[in-house]
Amino acid sequence: MSLTDIAATLTAPGARFEMETVDIRGVPTRVWKNTPANLAQIIMLSRAHGAREFTIHEDERVTYEANYRAVAALAARLEAMGVQKGDRVALCMRNLPEWPVAFFAGVSIGAIVVPLNAWWTGAELEYGLKDSGSRVLFIDGERHDRLADHYPALPDLEQIFVARAVTPLGGKAGAFESLIGTPHDWAALPEAALPPVDIAPDDDATIFYTSGTTGNPKGALGTHRNLITNIFSSGYSGARTLLRRGEEIP
């Protein structure tokens, strides 16, 4: 099949990758028709993978089901803290199982998650937290220590949760583990639904900072549709490759 024929097949009416035109902030835009509406639905759908491994870190193995349970538990804790739709929740840590849990917990209740560059200096992290107006910060121990001298300049940062702390915590800082335990504990968390929040596809979901090559980094807003489109587009690319080889799509 030619690429043109493959595209026509994959995007045909009724097909998995069917497209449609919708109005996004006054601009007619071609979008995938059959995507989940928001990232909360993405994490709920992930439960279908059950006992398959989702994250691996050293001797820690977190399944899709355990990851979902951790997300649901943390989302409920955030809601109980008063975090509301549109509030900024910052995330700054290296590649740890806690990262996707904090990310999906935030976006699942409509908060705008602000992933900060883990390589930034303390001053750069202070800038990102202040510029984004983040109320809550999830951070690992190494970056928490890097920020220690900068917290007094961040009065709007109400709560800090430190994963794998390496020094004693105090002030606004508490242990991430006090919220949902360690990754070894997540499979035993109670089964619970995500908090019910009305989240539209074009609601804001993230603020990612640019590289700032000519000045301070700029926060770029991303929507739920933005991120889900990237996920779905990867699936389309894989399906196109299979058809190009003459293979069937699973």
Q: Taking the CA of residue 135 as centre, how many other CA atoms within 13 Å lie in the half-sphere pointing to its CB?
A: 13
Which residues of the chain fall short of a pLDDT of 70? Answer: none
At residue 148, the pLDDT reads 95
At residue 211, the pLDDT reads 84
DSSP state of 187: G
Domain span at residue 76?
A: 3-244
Query: Alpha-carbon distance 241 to 56, whole Å?
Result: 28
At residue 107, the pLDDT reads 99
Q: What CATH number has the domain bearing residue 220?
A: 3.40.50.980
Stretch (H or E) spanning 242: helix 224-244
At residue 186, the pLDDT reads 99
At residue 163, the pLDDT reads 98
pTM of the predicted model as reported, rounded to 2 decimal places? 0.95
Q: Taking the CA of residue 4 as centre, how many other CA atoms within 13 Å lie in the half-sphere pointing to its CB?
A: 0
pLDDT digits (tens, 9 = 90+) for 209-236: 998 778 899 999 999 999 999 999 999 9
Give domain status of residue 148, yes or no.
Answer: yes
At residue 221, the pLDDT reads 98
Parallel, antiparallel, or unpaired for β 53-57 and 60-63? Answer: antiparallel
At residue 250, the pLDDT reads 85
Give domain status of residue 123, yes or no.
Answer: yes
Give domain status of residue 250, yes or no.
Answer: no
Q: How many domains, in total, are found in the chain?
A: 1
Q: For residues 101 and 95, is the Cβ–Cβ distance under 8 A?
A: no
At residue 177, the pLDDT reads 98
3-state secondary structure 192-223: CCCCCCCCCCCCEEEEEECCCCCCCCCEEEEE
At residue 215, the pLDDT reads 87
